[in-house]
A and B are shown apart, each in its own frame.
Chain A
Amino acid sequence: MHVDWPALARVAAVSLGVTVAVVVVFTLGVLGLSHTPTDTDPTPTVAGRTQAALCFLACGAVVGYGIYLIVPQFH
């Protein structure tokens, strides 16, 4: 019997790494949006919005890469 342990380990490591990275970066993006000048004003600050945009962009890039990986025509 041949079990491809390295491939399984790769699936585990990549999944864990990608999940934690995406969720942490996304959370930082949401934190950016929650940076408001006062507690009552719901509009985020410019710095907050920039942080959010960068984080969401990074998450979007990961999604794009995921789609790239699953479509054989792209390779």
Chain B
Amino acid sequence: MDHITFLVAVVIVTALAFDFTNGFHDTANAMATSIATGALAPRTAVLISGVLNLAGAFLSTEVARTISGGIVDDARVSPAMIFAGLVGAVLWNLLTWLAGLPSSSSHALFGGLIGAVWVGAGGDAVHFDKVVEKILIPAVASPVVAGVAALIATYLAYRLSARARKDTVSRGFRLGQIASASLVSLAHGTNDAQKTMGVITLTLISAGALGHDAGPPVWVIGAAGLAIGLGTYLGGWRIIRTMGKGLTEIQSPQGFAAETASTAVILTSAHLGFALSTTQVASGSILGAGLGRRLAEVRWGVAGRMVLAWLITLPSAALVGGLSASVVKHGGTAGTVVIAAVALTLAAAIVLAARRDPVHAGNVNDHHRVTVRAGSAT
């Protein structure tokens, strides 16, 4: 293992930190609607989701291969660039979490990597055609497909059950939600944990510790699964509130339809090796489910801000990644240390800012808004 230098170790730790924020950010995808409808108690929901994310990480590694061998030229990527890219992704994830916005962790990761590689190795080291094919097109198509599926399914569910006993319907779908939300979590593990595996594998390849077309080693799969599972368990309650309460008032049939649509899209895509954003799929499903019951139910202001966050996620993370990469490129080891220190400071500031108006398991369903109180810091 003499290929594992200090820098490579730092990159792996940062990658796992990203994986943690990924889980933290994305608990909402699987569990927000179940928590909102009362199908699962908040703490139970995040526990189930965490365990299933860990399990999902071990089930499939197809996406991990497409990422490390796809969007950037593996041969020209250095661990320093990967580090810079991860910094961009982690900071963007934390910032959107503070705002309670369900932005895509995948886009943050890809954006950070693209920015860092662009600055570090030149624009031709980024395979822009692959970026379009593997990221942009699925990103546009997947929430639409999930939304349309959830809309039709919700409409039919309400149509069919219109004259049935309300209490039976509500309870039946709540039980169904437990199953469908669990599957989303599992699918999330098979999809998102693989992104970190892909990054760590990419690092090991660039350091010469693995061959060019190698898959992720078992310890990488285990560590990535644990990091995402733990992040999921701790729960990004701010985002859970926005997705469960903010976009639309969810009832159990809608929750079930939304989760089923998300699972279907994520699983079929993972099967074909598309690295799509679980967040965007889940948000699309929730919007579709809102529309399927009644058009006016959707809070378009929240939806608009969310879509705006989607649009700027990749470029913003790319900008931070690029900036970090230029500091690391010109500053060497000192630059790496400076970037790490700045990133840690910013992360701490964001966490402190979130404490001013905390959202947690106890109050997640109380409001539909996540506020950031203005203060002297940040």
Contact = CB atoms under 8 A, between A and B. Distances in A.
Given A2-B129, A22-B260, A63-B183, A33 B168 contact: yes
Nearest to B157: A27
Contact of B164 (A7, A23, A31, A69): A31
Interface string B292-325: 0000000000000000000000000000000000
Contacts of B161: 27, 30-31, 34
A8 B264 contact: no
A44 B164 CA distance: 12
B261 A19 contact: yes
A45 interface: no
Nearest to A8: B141
Given A15-B265, A30-B164, A30-B168, A70 B270 contact: yes
Interface string A14-27: 11101110111011
Interface in B35-82: 59-62
B179 A63 contact: yes
Nearest to A11: B268
B156 A11 contact: no
A2 B70 CA distance: 13
B94 to A, nearest CB: 30
A21 B152 CA distance: 10
Contacts of B221: none
Contacts, number: 131
B273 to A, nearest CB: 9
B16 interface: no
B165 A36 contact: yes
B145 A12 contact: yes
A24 B168 CA distance: 16
A72 to B, nearest CB: 6
A34 B267 contact: no
Contacts of A34: 161, 164-165, 168-169, 172
Contact of A69 (B142, B146, B167, B271): B271
Given A8-B141, A20-B152, A70-B59, A33 B264 contact: no
A14 B253 CA distance: 21
B152 A8 contact: no
Contacts of B156: 20, 23-24, 27
B98 interface: no
Given A20-B152, A30-B164, A3 B60 contact: no
Interface of A: 1-4, 7-8, 10-12, 14-16, 18-20, 22-24, 26-31, 33-34, 36, 39, 42, 44, 59, 63, 66-67, 69-72
Given A11-B265, A24-B157, A33-B172, 19 more contacts: A1-B133, A2-B133, A4-B272, A8-B137, A11-B272, A14-B264, A16-B148, A16-B264, A26-B176, A27-B160, A30-B164, A30-B176, A34-B169, A36-B165, A42-B167, A59-B179, A66-B183, A70-B59, A70-B190
9 contacts: A11-B265, A19-B150, A19-B152, A19-B260, A19-B264, A27-B157, A29-B172, A33-B172, A63-B179
